[in-house]
Amino acid sequence: MSLTTPNTNPQAATQGTSTPSTPSTPSTPGPEPIIRCTNIAKLFDGRTVLENINLDIYPGETMVIMGGSGSGKSTSLRLMIGSMRPEQGTIEMFGKDICTLSESQLNDIRKQFGILFQSGALFNSMTIAENVALPLQEHTRLDQDIIDIQVKIKLELVGLREHADKYPSQISGGMKKRAGLARALALDPKILFYDEPSAGLDPVTSAQIDQLMLALTKQLGVTSVVVTHEMDSAFTIADRMAMLDKGRILKVETRQWYERLRDMPAEQVADLPEDEQLIRQFLRGDADGPITARRDQSAFTDDLFNS
């Protein structure tokens, strides 16, 4: 038995799934993907860390990429922002294959997306306002007074206008994240990439960042790609979710599909395909299940052959 896909979002719900339980081509014509990853493989030192990655992301949606530590989430994000290239496959953004672009062509595309790094990555010697102004000074020819207005608008969006003149060392971790977000928004990007936006934040601050991300998506219509292993956050912000495991995408489905898998009664679990059992364990954070069974098994095998 396998979960069937709900019809809440027919365009998205039929995209990118790999098992026979759901079709892999859209049944209705819809918008073109804003990002299309096709058959991506990435190797480090001859070791495959991503393989056969197929993922379409549509305008205006929030796609959450989740998975255990080392499953390849950050690497996927780095490939999508063009900071490294895959050994195989194509990554189309706004219809262009970014893997074949020169650095200057890539820079033009980069102006259309914002990135929120894990730490916020602010410059400590600059005020919050100066940090947010930086992309506008580097990438536009706007007058300083127009830049000042833009900075105020972006700081107001993230609720930091009254802290504009503080330095990063004078604000909390959650405020740094918000300042990083204001900077990521400086050039009015069409796509926002986030790597672990809730990492290191207390639950309340983390929930506030989730609400801010939701509000921004609604108000500005941006497409968001969010890497996280915080399940509360994932279920709050996602339209669709992609589960990575050991460099492979197990499933791309709607948030509702993942909710149903998470909440499925335990007595029905044995009938699920193994991948779905594994995903369910991950979503619920259960101590027992295929993930831990696999770990125990491989530890035993290593022990057996290395002794």
The listed partner (Mg ion, ligand ATP, none) that binds 36, CB under 5 to 8 Å by sort, is none
Residue 77 Cβ vs ligand ATP, minimum distance, rounded to whole Å: 8
Contact 67, 258 (CB under 8 A): no
Contact 40, 88 (CB under 8 A): yes
Please work out the total of residues on this chain that contact ligand ATP, with binding judged by CB under 6 A: 11
In the window 62-81, what residues touch ligand ATP (CB under 6 A)?
67, 69-75
> Strand 35-44 to strand 88-93: parallel, antiparallel, or no bridges (unpaired)?
antiparallel
Interface residues with Mg ion (CB under 5 A) are: 74
State which residue, 21 or 74, has the beta carbon closest to Mg ion: 74
The listed partner (Mg ion, ligand ATP, none) that binds 281, CB under 5 to 8 Å by sort, is none
Backbone phi, then psi, for 49, in 5-degree steps?
-110, -20
Cβ of 100: how many Cβ atoms within 10 Å? 11
Starting at the earlier edge strand, list the strands of the sheet with 240-245. 113-116, 191-195, 223-227, 62-67, 240-245, 248-254
Residue 60 Cβ vs ligand ATP, minimum distance, rounded to whole Å: 25
State which residue, 142 or 231, has the beta carbon closest to Mg ion: 231
The listed partner (ligand ATP, Mg ion, none) that binds 285, CB under 5 to 8 Å by sort, is none
* Residue nearest Mg ion, CB atom distance: 74
Closest CA relative to residue 114, chosen from 216, 198, 230: 216
State which residue, 44 or 300, has the beta carbon closest to ligand ATP: 44
Which of 44, 105, 298, 302 touches ligand ATP by CB under 6 A? 44
Contact 131, 122 (CB under 8 A): yes
Instruction: Show the binding pattern over residues 209-248: x = contacts ligand ATP (CB under 6 A), - = does not.
Output: --------------------x-------------------
Element (H, E) at 191: strand 191-195
The listed partner (Mg ion, ligand ATP, none) that binds 163, CB under 5 to 8 Å by sort, is none
Chain centroid to Cα 212, Å, comes to: 15
In the complex, the residues that contact ligand ATP under the rule CB under 6 A are 44, 49, 67, 69-75, 229
